[in-house]
Structure 1
Amino acid sequence: MELFRSHCYSIYCNSLWSRYKVATMNRFKVCHNDILKRLLGLPRWCSSSLAFARNGVNNLDVIRRHSVFSLRSKVELSTNSIITSVRQSSAYVCGPIQQRWLGLLFVQNVG
C-alpha cells in the first residue's frame, strides 16, 4: 500500500486540470483502479470501492478533492499581491478551473 500511496497519490498539478473530457477522466480512473488491483493480486472485475476501503487508501476522486481543497485554500488565504489580484479577477471567479473545483468540492442534489 505504501507503493500505491507514494506513486499514485502524487498526481502533480491535478488540481489545475480543467480541460478534459469526462470519458478521458473515466479512463484515467479505470487505470488508477486497475493499478491497485494489480498490486493486490485481485482480478479486474472485483469491486474497486471495496479494494480501496479494505486497504485504507484513497480513490482518485478523493485524491483530487484533497488536492483541489488544498490549493484553493492556499489561494483564498494568500496575502501575496499577485495571487490576490488573480483571485479577484473574473478569470479566476468565473473561469473553467473554478468551475471544476466547485464541481469536485460540492455535490449537487439531483431531483
Structure 2
Amino acid sequence: MELFRSHCYSIYCNSLWSRYKVATMNRPKVCHNDILKRLLGLPRWCSSSLAFARNGVNNLDVIRRHSMFSLRSRVELSTNSIITSVRQSSAYVCEPIQQRWLGLLFVQNVG
C-alpha cells in the first residue's frame, strides 16, 4: 500500500483540471482502480470501492478533492502580491476552475 500511496497519490496539477468531459475523467479513474487491484492480486471485475476501503487508501476522487482544497487554501492564504491581485480580481471568482473547485469541494444536497 505504501508503493501505491507514493506513486499513485502524486497526480501533479490535478487540482487544475477544470475542463473535461466525464468520459475523459473516467479513463484515469479506471486506470487508478486497476493499478490497486493488480497490486493486490484482485480480479479486474471486483469492487474497487471495497478494495480502497479495506486497504485504507484514497480513490482518485478523494485525491483530487484533497489537491484542490490544498491549492485553494494556499491561494486564499497567500500574501504574495501577484497572487493577491489575481485573487481579488473579478476574473478569479468567475473563472471555470473556481466554479469546478466549489462544485467538487462543496457537495450540495439535492431534493
Fold shared by both chains (TM-score > 0.5):
yes
Over 4 Å off, 4+ runs: none
Deviations 1:30-77 (A, max 9, x none): 111011001101011111111001111000011001100111001001
The unaligned stretches of length 5 or more in structure 2 are: none
Distance 1:7 1:99 in 2: 29
Distance 2:90 2:105 in 1: 20
Deviations 1:66-97 (A, max 9, x none): 10011100100111110011101222111011
Give the 3-state SS of the residue equivalent to 2:75 in structure 1. helix
Distance 1:44 1:109 in 2: 32
The unaligned stretches of length 5 or more in structure 1 are: none
Deviates further, 84-93 or 35-44: 84-93
Distance 2:38 2:94 in 1: 40
Instruction: Give the CA RMSD over aligned residues.
Output: 0.8
Aligned length: 111
Which residue does the alignment assign to 1:54? 54
Distance 1:86 1:76 in 2: 10
Which residue does the alignment assign to 2:14? 14
* TM-score of the two chains, using structure 2 as the length reference: 0.96
* TM-score of the two chains, using structure 1 as the length reference: 0.96
